[in-house]
Amino acid sequence: LGQLVESGGGSVQAGGSLRLSCTASGSDFDRYYMAWFRQVPGKERQGVAGIGHGGAGARYVDSVKGRFTITRDNIKNQLFLEMNNLNPDDTGMYYCAARPWRYVTPNNAWDLREFVFWGRGTQVTVSS
């Protein structure tokens, strides 16, 4: 796997929606567990949503369950995050990240140290 490039961020009002995209270069995209992380100033980066290498096993941080949907297209080497009913707490820099699927467990799914590829991020700002 090569570079990860995010797009789709922007500024929206509370209640609005955004769709983030992450395009990966290189090969073997379908051998990686993919995830979206977000970070705000003064806080550490935290996981938002993750998805298994084959598109199953989606997981979400509690605060976004029912509002966000993570999907992937292994033919186009793309990862998506559909974000609905956004609120100001969703504001942050969103990063696309990848880790080898083989050793993913519920306890280490969000371990930052396990993700070996990272995008540069796309900013999401939600105003009230």
Contact assessment for residue 80 and residue 70, using Cβ atoms and an 8 Å cutoff? yes
Where does the pLDDT of residue 128 fall: very low under 50, low under 70, confident under 90, or very high at 90 and above?
Answer: very high
Over residues 20-48, the mean pLDDT reads 96
Tell me the average pLDDT across 51-64. Answer: 95
Give the residue among 88, 100, 64 at the shortest CA–CA distance from 14: 88
Backbone angles phi, psi at 101, to 5 degrees: -75, -25
Q: What is the pLDDT of residues 79-109, one digit of tens each?
A: 999 999 999 999 999 999 999 998 899 889 9
In whole angstroms, give the CA distance from residue 8 to residue 98: 18
Predicted pLDDT at 115:
96
CA angle in degrees (0–180, nearest 5) for 52-30-66: 30
First to last CA, the chain: 38
